[in-house]
Amino acid sequence: MPITTRSLFPALLAAALLLPANIYAIGNGIGAGIRFPLFLYQDTTYGASLIPVWREISYVASGTIGGRSAVSILLWVLGTALLIAAIVYFAARRKEDHETFRKPLALLVAGAGVAYLLSCIAQYGPTLQGASGFCRPGRCTAHPRCGVVYREGGRGR
């Protein structure tokens, strides 16, 4: 049985939600971490933490985190919401013709990638490094490939 793009969609969407999206370092060696769409793992001089995205939302809502960090978290949550929306959209439309849901799915995943990248920029600046540390986006650079999926959507592949 040949592997088709349609049969890869569920695995690719699951991988997008479960694989690390970026790595980062905080300040002058205070700590470092790996950020996933649903949680982050960070190891600092204060200890190691596994922080789910909903706890980060509560930190921002309560005012514990503010400023650039709050904007960064909110953009990250937007990216995660778009990725979850892509998964729900695919689940709802999986029985339909591949061409009817390909473009909106590509736009949702690409939007998540842009939100993740903007989150890094909001925290660390346009060069993704500065006095507050650095960030190395992983999957964010792969999401422009969604543009190819979007453009190819009408060609009947």
Span of 13-22, 44-53, 58-67, 91-100 with lowest mean pLDDT: 91-100
Q: What is the CATH number of the domain that holds 64?
A: 1.20.140
- Segments forming the whole domain that contains residue 40: 5-155
d(C-alpha 17, C-alpha 13), whole Å = 6
Residue 1 has a pLDDT of 52
Q: What is the pLDDT of residue 154?
A: 46
Please enumerate, as own/partner, the contacts of 74-80 that have beta carbons within 8 Å and a separation of 24 or more: 75/115, 75/116, 75/118, 75/119, 75/122, 76/35, 76/115, 76/116, 76/119, 77/53, 78/115, 79/37, 79/111, 79/112, 79/113, 79/114, 79/115, 79/116, 79/119, 80/37, 80/38, 80/53, 80/112
Q: How many domains is the chain partitioned into structurally?
A: 1
Nearest to 109 by CA among 75, 138, 81: 81
Q: What is the pLDDT of residue 48?
A: 95
Whether the predicted pLDDT of 81 surpasses 80: yes
- Output the pTM of the full model: 0.82
The pLDDT assigned to 32 comes to: 93
